[in-house]
Amino acid sequence: MITMEEIKALREETGLSIMQCKTALEEAGGDKNKAIVLLKEKGAEIAKKKGVRSLAAGVVVSYIHAGETIGVMLELLCETDFVAKNPEFKSIARDIAMHIAAMSPADTTTLLEQPFIKDTEKKISDLINNTVQKFGERTEVGHFVRFSIN
C-alpha cells in the first residue's frame, strides 16, 4: 500500500501531480527510484506526442549574473498564454536562462544535452519534458543569446 507521505515526497521532488506520482509509485511497487524513472519515461513520451502542436505563446526572460558581466535572454515557448503566464513556467524559464549564463552552450541542441546546474541528475531536456508533463503543453526553448563582458 502506497502511503500519502510517499506520494507527497515524490511530488515534492518531481513537481508533478499527486495522481501522476501515485500511479508511478503503484507501477513501481512503491520503489521511489523506479517511480522517478517511470515518470521520466512518461514525460518523454508525452513530449513526443505533443511535438506537432503549435507553439503560439511563451515568455522571454532575462537573467543578469552577479557582477553584471554576464547576461542571458531566453525565449521559452508553449501553446497557450494560460501556461506562459504561470509563475512556475516563468521560473523554469529563468532557471534555464541562469543555466545558460553558467554553462555557455553553443546552441539549443547542446543546451538540451547539458546536465542542469541545479540538479546534475537531470539534463535540460528532462526539465523541458517535466514541464510538458506538468502543464500538458508542448514546450520548447526558442532562441537564446548570452552576453559576456569577458
| Domains assigned to the chain | 4-50 (1.10.8.10), 54-148 (3.30.479.20)
Q: Which of 47, 64, 76 is nearest to 146 (CA)?
A: 64
pLDDT in tens, 50-97: 656 678 899 999 999 989 999 999 999 999 999 999 999 999 999 999
Nearest C-alpha neighbor of 78 from the set 109, 63, 51, 56 = 56
d(CA 13, CA 56): 30
pTM above 0.75, yes or no: no
Is 70 exceeded by the pLDDT of residue 46? Answer: no
State residue 74's pLDDT score.
97
* pLDDT of 11: 79
Return the SS3 of 29: coil
Read off the C-alpha cell for 139.
Answer: 514546450
106 pLDDT exceeds 80? yes
Output the furthest CA–CA distance in the chain (Å, rounded).
Answer: 56
The mean pLDDT of the chain is: 89
Per-residue pLDDT band at 118 (split at 50, 70, 90): very high
| Residue burial 111-123, b: 16+ Cβ < 10 Å; e: rest | bbebebeeeeeeb
Q: Return the residue matching grid coordinates 515524490.
A: 10
Residue by residue, DSSP assigns 46-104 as HHHHGGGS---EEEEEEEE-TTSSEEEEEEEEES-HHHHT-HHHHHHHHHHHHHHHHH-
pLDDT digits (tens, 9 = 90+) for 56-65: 899 999 999 9
Residue 35's pLDDT is 85
The pLDDT assigned to 111 comes to 97
DSSP classification of residue 142: E
pLDDT-derived band at 23, boundaries 50, 70, 90: confident
Given pLDDT bands bounded at 50, 70 and 90, which one contains residue 123?
Answer: very high
Whether 6 contacts 31, CB under 8 Å: no
